[in-house]
Amino acid sequence: MHYRTMLRSACLVGFLVVGGSVLHGEIIEQIIVKVNGEIMTKTDLENRQIAALRQSGQQVDPKADDAQLKRMLDQVTPQLLVNAVDEMLLVQRGRELGYKMADDQFNSVLDSIKKDNKIESDEQFQAALKAENMTLSDLRRSLERQMIISRVQQNEVMSKIAVTDEEARAYYDSHRAEFTSSPTVTLREIFINVPGDGATINVARDEQARERVNAVRQRALNGESFEKLVADASDAASKANGGLIGPLSAGDLSPDLQKLLASMKPGDITPPLRTPRGYQLLKLEAASTAETKSFDEAREEISNKVFTDKRRDEFEKYLTKLRSQAIIEWKNADVKKAYDQGLTQPRTAAES
C-alpha cells in the first residue's frame, strides 16, 4: 500500500493487515520499519500523520480524493518519518545509558501539568486524558521518551559544545548588521481633513483646510502646546494619544519624508504636508541614529547565536552517526522512499 492512502483507514485501525492479506483469520498489525529490532507500525505512522496535519492546521476530510490526500501527505510524511526514526534511535541510546523516569519525576511533571491546566481533581485529570484518547500509562511513556531524548541531547551533544572567543569574534565581524539598530523617529501629528470622495478636489474646501492648518501651525510656532493643538484641531485617530506616532523605523518612511526629517531637530514642525485626504503637520519629538553594539555589549547574544548554530550542526552529526550504526529494516518501499526524501530536507528550527 502506498503511504499516500494510509489515512483512509485511520478510523479503522483495528482492521489492519500484513502485505494486504489476513493470516489464518487473525488481524495482524502491519510493520513499516524495524529500527534495531524496535518496530514502527502502520498505525503509528497514521497517528503521526494525522497529528502532523492537525498541527499544521490542515483538516483530514474523510471525503478527500486521492490527489488531495497525496498532496497533504507529501508535505508532512518525509520529515515526519525521519523524526520518528531519529526519536527511536535517541530513546534507544538513552536506555543504553540507563536513563529512565523515576516515580518522583513523573509525579512532579504531573503536578506541573495539572497546575498549568488548572486541573484540581483526579476526575478532571482523567477526563482530560480521555479527551486526548490517552491513558496514564500512555502519558508516562510519552513523557519518559521526551525526558530521555532531552537528556541524550544535553549529555551527548550540548555539554560538549563550547564557543571560543575567536568564534564569537568571527561571527560578530561577519554579522555586524545583526547588532546594529535602525535609526528611528518619534512624531506627533495634526491632521486636517478635506471633506470629499478622495478622487476629486473641491477647491473651496481645500482652501479652507489649508488656511486652517496654516493657522494651527502658526499657533504652534508661537509657542502653544502641540499636544493641546492636537486636542483642539486634529481629525486623526491619533488625537486620542496626543497625536503620537512611533517610534518608527526611518527606513519605513518615504524618501521625501526622510529627507525632510533629516533637516529637522527635535521640537521642529514641518510645513503643511498634503496627503490624499487632507493636510498634515508633523512635529519631530525624538530621533535616534543607527548604533552598533560593541563586541563586549553583544557578547552574550553572540554566544547564544553561535551556540545555536553549533548545536544544530553537532546534533545532526550525532543523528547521522546513530543512523549509520543502526540496523534499519524497511518493510515498505514507498515509505522508505519518503524517508530518503526527508533526509535531504532541512529541518525547521523547532525540529532541530
pLDDT of residue 199: 62
Residue type, 323: R
Helix axes 333-343, 66-96, angle to 10 degrees: 70
Q: What is the pLDDT of residues 35-84, one digit of tens each?
A: 999 999 999 998 888 888 888 776 656 665 667 777 888 888 999 999 99
Residue 16, pLDDT > 90, answer no
Please give the torsion angle defined by the CA atoms of residues 74, 75, 76 and 80, in that order, rounded to the nearest 10 degrees.
Answer: 70
Give the residue among 284, 286, 283, 270 at the shortest CA–CA distance from 230: 283
Mean pLDDT score, 248-260: 88
Q: What are the helix (H) ranges across 56-99?
A: 66-96
pLDDT of residue 61: 61
Question: How is 19-35 classified by DSSP, letter by letter?
Answer: TTB-BTTB--PPEEEEE
| Sequence-ordered list of residues with C-beta below 8 angstroms from that of 239, at least 6 positions apart, any chain | 230, 231
Residue 266, pLDDT > 70, answer yes
What is d(CA 212, CA 190) in angstroms, rounded to the nearest whole number?
11
Q: Which option is the CATH number for 183-289: 3.10.50.40, 2.40.40.20, 3.40.605.10, 3.60.20.10?
A: 3.10.50.40
Residue in the structure block whose three cell numbers are 529627507: 259
pLDDT of residue 53: 83
**Grid coordinates representing 334?**
514507498
Residue 21, pLDDT > 80, answer no
pLDDT: which is higher, 156 or 70: 156
Residue 338, pLDDT > 50, answer yes
pLDDT of residue 181: 84
Mean pLDDT score, 114-127: 91
Q: Is 339 exposed, middle or buried (0-12, 13-18, 19+ CB in 10 A)?
A: buried
Q: Where are the domains of the chain?
A: 3-98+322-343, 183-289
Average pLDDT over all residues of the chain: 85
